[in-house]
């Protein structure tokens, strides 16, 4: 099967990124509107992290469009020669923007896990280490790319070790985060089942939680799927890799924003669980199950407020 050219890869990737950016803009507008109208939600960590991801992803798309302009119109030589020059400052800036967006997005997901597990540091130790590894790999990749000569690709031996690690570490981070969230939902399901057995009306909590579980898996799995495809395409040494890595900055920004928008709207699994169990909640409503010696105890928490 004939491979696409590197310039084709960049062109198609930028088109795909532009489409996703349209969704990112719409999502960010909704987020800002909901945030401003949910005065009880005062978590500035989430607020400024989401806004920073939008700014970074906007800058990345701007850099990608500028690269297309230079590669196809300004550069005097063949476009493939331009796009194969990985040491160009604009390319290095774009790679840095992608890395920064990825670190902020993964950190925001870890922050959510930390909150729903009662601010337990032990739960997030592993994803914090993989996040640190992601940051280090990003720095190394940018430096290694800056050392490549024109015509050398990302498949060169000098970067062939760091690039797979840069895909594998965030993949591990997001897989662990997905597992922790799903496991927490399962714990909440068990608590509701015990309440139901005790005579507390929970209505259609079982069906509701099945929907929430699938929703969490779906939203958290988008980014790891992109990463897995990137690893496969990288080892196949195909220019189609750009079709995945190009728009990935938008994916990284969209996934955590969607997750937190769900929380702000009171659609988080714990808010719904509290309502199903017949409890009232404050602020956004975080009646989360807390573990003590007697088992699961339901109570109102304000973990999402800072």
pLDDT at 257: 87
pLDDT (tens place) for every residue of the chain, 306 residues total: 678 899 999 999 999 999 999 999 999 888 888 876 665 555 788 888 999 999 999 999 999 999 999 999 988 888 989 998 999 999 999 999 999 999 999 999 999 889 888 888 999 999 999 999 999 999 999 999 998 888 888 887 778 778 888 888 999 999 998 888 878 777 766 666 666 665 554 445 555 555 655 555 445 677 888 888 888 888 888 888 889 988 999 999 998 888 888 777 766 665 555 455 444 333 333 334 443 433 334 333 444 443
- Please say whether the beta carbons of 237 and 90 come within 8 A: no
Residue 166 sits at φ, ψ, to 5 deg, of -70, -25
> Could you tell me if residue 143 is inside a domain?
yes
Residue 301 sits at φ, ψ, to 5 deg, of -125, 160
* Nearest residue to 222 (alpha-carbon basis) of 248, 185, 261: 248
* Count of CB atoms situated within 10 Å of the CB of 45: 13
- DSSP output for 40-60: T---HHHHHHHHHHHHHHHHH
- DSSP output for 224-257: HHHHHHHHHHHHTT-TTHHHHHTTHHHHHHHHHH
Q: What is the total count of domains within the chain?
A: 1
CATH number at residue 30: 1.20.1070
> Could you tell me if residue 202 is inside a domain?
yes
Domain that holds residue 13: 6-287
Tokens 């929430």 -> residue? 212
- Please say whether the beta carbons of 79 and 72 come within 8 A: yes
> Could you tell me if residue 1 is inside a domain?
no
> Could you tell me if residue 116 is inside a domain?
yes
The two structure tokens encoding residue 256? 């955590």
pLDDT at 282: 32
pLDDT at 216: 58
> Could you tell me if residue 82 is inside a domain?
yes
> Could you tell me if residue 251 is inside a domain?
yes
d(CA 159, CA 142): 10
> Could you tell me if residue 242 is inside a domain?
yes
> Could you tell me if residue 299 is inside a domain?
no
């Amino acid at each position: 099967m004939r491979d696409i050219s590197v310039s084709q890869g960049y062109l198609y990737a930028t088109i795909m990124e532009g489409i996703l950016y349209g969704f990112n803009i719409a999502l960010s507008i909704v987020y800002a509107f909901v945030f401003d109208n949910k005065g009880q939600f005062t978590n500035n960590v989430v607020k400024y992290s989401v806004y920073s991801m939008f700014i970074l992803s906007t800058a990345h798309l701007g850099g990608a469009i500028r690269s297309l302009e230079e590669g196809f119109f300004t550069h005097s030589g063949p476009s493939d020669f331009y796009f194969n020059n990985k040491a160009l400052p604009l390319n290095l800036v774009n790679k840095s923007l992608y890395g920064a967006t990825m670190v902020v997005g993964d950190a925001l997901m870890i922050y959510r896990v930390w909150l729903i597990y009662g601010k337990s540091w032990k739960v997030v130790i592993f994803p914090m280490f993989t996040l640190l590894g992601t940051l280090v790999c990003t720095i190394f990749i940018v430096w290694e790319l800056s050392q490549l000569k024109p015509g050398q690709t990302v498949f060169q031996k000098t970067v062939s070790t760091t690039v797979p690690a840069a895909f594998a570490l965030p993949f591990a981070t997001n897989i662990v985060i997905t597992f922790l969230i799903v496991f927490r939902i399962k714990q909440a399901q068990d608590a509701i089942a015990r309440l139901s057995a005790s005579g507390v009306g929970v209505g259609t909590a079982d069906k509701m939680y099945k929907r929430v579980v699938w929703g969490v898996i779906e939203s958290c799995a988008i980014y790891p799927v992109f990463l897995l495809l990137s690893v496969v395409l990288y080892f196949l040494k195909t220019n189609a890799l750009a079709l995945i890595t190009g728009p990935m900055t938008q994916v990284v920004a969209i996934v955590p924003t969607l997750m937190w928008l769900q929380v702000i709207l009171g659609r988080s699994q714990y808010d719904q669980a509290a309502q199903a169990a017949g409890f009232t909640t404050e602020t956004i409503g975080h009646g989360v199950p807390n573990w003590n010696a007697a088992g699961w105890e339901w109570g109102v928490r304000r973990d999402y407020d800072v």
